[in-house]
Amino acid sequence: MSDRTSKGEEAGQAKRIWPLWEVFIRARNGLSHKHAGSVHAADARMALEAARDTYTRRMEGVSLWVVPSKEIVASDPGEAAALFEPAADKIYRHPTFYSIPGNVKNI
């Protein structure tokens, strides 16, 4: 196969790749949506269907969100020390100094 052909195929492939969507699932009412993974889909409705088929086959959820991955704004790993390490020695921020009644769920 010549270089020209394979490059043409590559360009065709790249054009055919669908955008990526992040999938969030609410496991049951009362809980918040949690990130589950991502799917490729051409548009929002198809992303919901792909998410349904990919991530809720085993009764994982009662509600789905899909968000275009390019809309996610991420923190810079280079700033992790400044952002997160100051919390390391402040254990008094954890609500661990009182007991939770046994019948309180989801904490």
Q: Which secondary structure element, helix H or strand E, spans residue 24, and what is its range?
A: strand 20-26
- 11 is a contact residue toward other proteins (CB under 8 A): no
* Contacts of range 28-36, beta carbons closer than 8 Å, 24 or more positions apart: 28/61, 28/62, 29/62, 30/106, 31/106, 33/63, 33/65, 36/60
Q: Which stretch binds other proteins (CB under 8 A): 27-35, 40-48, 74-82, 89-97?
A: 40-48
Helix, strand or coil, per DSSP, at residue 80? helix
- 67 is a contact residue toward other proteins (CB under 8 A): no
Give the residue, chosen from 34, 35, 44, 49, that forms a contact with other proteins under the rule CB under 8 A: 49
- 45 is a contact residue toward other proteins (CB under 8 A): yes
Give the residue, chosen from 42, 62, 72, 87, that forms a contact with other proteins under the rule CB under 8 A: 42
Judged by CB, which is closer to other proteins: 25, or 39?
A: 39
